[in-house]
Structure 1
């Protein structure tokens, strides 16, 4: 088997113009590949640490030269000579060298960059696609693209409290057609916003970010766009939400301030009730982070009330960490976990989080970050993990479209063996 002969890293920019890490890995058989690490804005307090320099003279302190140095001077010497196919061994060695619970010594951005680049190099060396290398020869299910077409919260400067409103092509026959359904809806939505003289500028993930009259106005407008695009809401295209409620929680007792939309203050039970009204009125199939990361009891009540009707996804509360996912499974906190590679910091640990969800009967929702790069690793990873659905932004911004285009390539490679379905 090919062994690692060289590892190096460099500082690049993500889609928000902030520094991130790119890692290059070379094997002794001449294989050479790279991977770039995404970065989040709406982050959970228990996420693996993204190491920043803190030097105010460079990028307002957001530089990643320390993480780059850790790859080049600490990680690389310890991995040279190891077989690239030993993903778990390689990831485990980096975790051991770091020695912290949150990867704060070396930086999750340094560790993940190496982990992803090693996986890609091993796949190339074996002459198989990355999705088959990570998921086996049976990996053939394309994810339903949950396209974020309206941005709010921390991903936009507008009057919308909730962070993401997504269009979900549950009734499409193939990934290609599903992508077309929601891309067409995205463009129709732009026309509706223009007619209403609302902004068609986009947020961090490419969704439109106008000042709607209310949070509910946003979802009503999306349903209208679905209809005007020629589709039936709930049959061809459903909707999904990400409240990212940690961004507007006031305290750990479960008081929330929806100040952007001027909806006022609410408690956990108010949000549970509001969700019930919306689920009754609109074709919602998934709701992510409806309560804040420390509101475990509120999350549990939300799931007890709505979990049989929709997928209730925990993001900030679980942070792709098996420790928190296990608690959620035990307590009935949700029925699905969001899966983000950089929340936990290695490919192996991310796969273990997926396995825990699958073994418990939970769903798992693969996700990008708001600060992305053109790297399409996530697209292959989504097919490999057979999760069935993915969010990776809107039909604008090339760092988002790169993932969709890679999925189109995979579907074409798979041909008639490709699968696509919501559940």
Structure 2
């Protein structure tokens, strides 16, 4: 063929194609596009034609869901969900997500309890894998991955059906038991933990205080991980299809596709010490001692500062063979009674599942004074350059027989007394700006008291004291004790739409939102994108050790860098506390933290 023959032939074919499309009433703009493309070189023509016609391809749809049993960050089974879509007539794997397991890690548990927990977890994950690969795979096929609201509705309806099926099975089992077994009087020893036995005509020794009984523990439906895992995987697939980051996709869903002009980063609650009930030492109250950086610092600066404090803490916790231990800071505030010969709390030779050091302490002030020393040694000041938060985990400390909290080994405080203790502690250590679960959720009166006493000085946060998300949403009325905010965890049947709805309710009721990692955390970093997209005030990820924890801090750094590059990053001016004692003056509800020293 003569030189240029290929070009002439392509032009001829192009004219024939244009004539064909014209006769079939194809829009004029398509004809013009074809005529323009025919002027290009043959090698350019094919690619540009493909790109142009791809705009008219069908929207991607879900073709397959794959559920798989995997391991979480501490080696326990959990669920992974993969999403496959049809894109330009080809099946393509879009994304996957690993959901965190719901149950808490049992510290120092009996072998029987550990074995039962492992069996329950395995059964739940196996059932979830079955749901994803069978029922949900069939139900969601051919749906658009960008239709989050509709898919979450389908998931919710499926879950409700499963709950009803379980109730029917339980009802039939109870009826059979009633027919086959004689009636008997239940013994007091058969009561579950948290319930108080009552005796007739005899006073129970040690039962000094009557406290509200524990609310029944919400049962977790076997397989519910499939609902949360699928919803989150769909959100990731929608973000991937839309070619935007997950945090921006979540922000658009919350704002009804109204793109935010600026976004703020959640402040990290960095766990530094684990010295609670199951750690060595007498102190039981402080399950986690956490660092909160000033709002004016970038996340990068905040993590670097937290790492500096952590390194200094590790030096102080190293056992010394010679000489007296270092003196604790601020002797006037609590260490004046010390002789200087008291040994510092010893660090364990392992890292907690929370990603922090485990240490034992003998009183409330010891870890706080230790932190003051560490900060002073590197030229930082607590209360200005770094703040503290304490996870009290009060629900783990209650002795229902005595009706009191065991804050130290053998030392008990009633609900009223523990409120006074917190007031004294905050007055002595004003650098503490958040208390997580200072009381059980059942102690409503004391929650009101502590909010009135300390609400203008620190955040009073409900984590385990908060009712589960599944119970909060249907009522449209947040069933919480009076508090500053709650920690939300993405587990079980939680859906992305639930988080969007609930955070909207919390925003409207002056509660702060905290996204938190559960005990059984995975290496999936989607929680960070959820926190940024939902506009959470804080994010609680654990310590700066263990891969499943550090992965999320790295994702936080990447998002901050991206927002700064796009000039959409906004820093909060200050942290605001709620003054619950001044309900009649809502315009003066907030106190501000002092500004930190600049690096």
Whether TM-score is above 0.5 comes out as yes
Give how far 1:274 is off: 1.2
Distance 2:299 2:135 in 1: 42
Distance 1:190 1:40, change over 3 A: farther
Distance 1:104 1:408 in 2: 34
Distance 1:341 1:58 in 2: 20
Counterpart of 1:279 (choices 423, 426, 430) is 426
Distance 1:329 1:273 in 2: 27
Cα deviation, 1:73-96, whole Å, max 9, x if unaligned, reads 222211112211121221221121
Distance 1:59 1:42, change over 3 A: closer
Counterpart of 1:145 (choices 263, 268, 293) is 268
Give how far 1:293 is off: 2.9
Counterpart of 1:340 (choices 482, 489, 498) is 489
Q: In the alignment, is the contact (CA less than 8 A) between 1:152 and 1:164 conserved in 2?
A: yes
Worse-matched range after superposition: 100-109 or 233-242: 100-109
Cα deviation, 1:102-147, whole Å, max 9, x if unaligned, reads 7954633111111111100110010000000001332621111110
Distance 1:389 1:90 in 2: 28
Counterpart of 2:466 (choices 318, 324, 327) is 318
Distance 1:105 1:342, change over 3 A: closer
Residue 237 of structure 2 corresponds to 121
Structure with max Cα Rg: 2
Q: In the alignment, is the contact (CA less than 8 A) between 2:467 and 2:480 conserved in 1?
A: no
What CA RMSD, in Å, does the superposition of the two structures yield over aligned residues? 2.8
Distance 1:234 1:72 in 2: 52
Give how far 1:169 is off: 0.7
Residue 309 of structure 1 corresponds to 457
Q: In the alignment, is the contact (CA less than 8 A) between 1:318 and 1:324 conserved in 2?
A: no
Counterpart of 1:250 (choices 388, 394, 399) is 399
SS, match of residue 350 in structure 1: helix
Counterpart of 1:4 (choices 53, 62, 66) is 62
User: After superposition, where does 1:261-280 map in structure 2 within 5 Å?
Assistant: 261-262=408-409, 264-280=411-427
Give how far 1:213 is off: 1.9
Counterpart of 1:369 (choices 497, 518, 521) is 518
Distance 1:96 1:159, change over 3 A: farther
Counterpart of 2:144 (choices 62, 83, 95) is 83
Give how far 1:226 is off: 2.4
Residue 437 of structure 2 corresponds to 289
Residue 417 of structure 1 corresponds to 568
Counterpart of 1:193 (choices 314, 317, 321) is 317
Q: How many residues are aligned here?
A: 411
Structure 2 length-normalised TM: 0.64
Distance 2:93 2:456 in 1: 48
SS, match of residue 265 in structure 2: coil
Residue 51 of structure 1 corresponds to none
Cα deviation, 1:37-80, whole Å, max 9, x if unaligned, reads 1134559xxxxxxxxxx996995553121221122122221111
Cα deviation, 1:214-258, whole Å, max 9, x if unaligned, reads 233122222322222322111110000111111111239952223
SS, match of residue 318 in structure 2: helix
User: After superposition, where does 1:388-407 map in structure 2 within 5 Å?
Assistant: 388-407=537-556
Counterpart of 2:300 (choices 173, 176, 188) is 176
Q: Which runs of 5+ in 2 are unaligned?
A: 1-58, 106-112, 165-217, 253-258, 320-343, 576-599
Distance 1:223 1:167 in 2: 12
Distance 1:57 1:246, change over 3 A: closer
Counterpart of 1:35 (choices 97, 100, 105) is 97
Counterpart of 2:73 (choices 9, 15, 32) is 15
Give how far 1:160 is off: 3.8
Give how far 1:345 is off: 1.6
Q: Which runs of 5+ in 1 are unaligned?
A: 44-53
Residue 157 of structure 2 corresponds to 96
Cα deviation, 1:11-55, whole Å, max 9, x if unaligned, reads 111122211111111122235111111134559xxxxxxxxxx99
Q: In the alignment, is the contact (CA less than 8 A) between 2:226 and 2:493 conserved in 1?
A: no
Give how far 1:322 is off: 7.2
User: After superposition, where does 1:375-390 map in structure 2 within 5 Å?
Assistant: 375-390=524-539
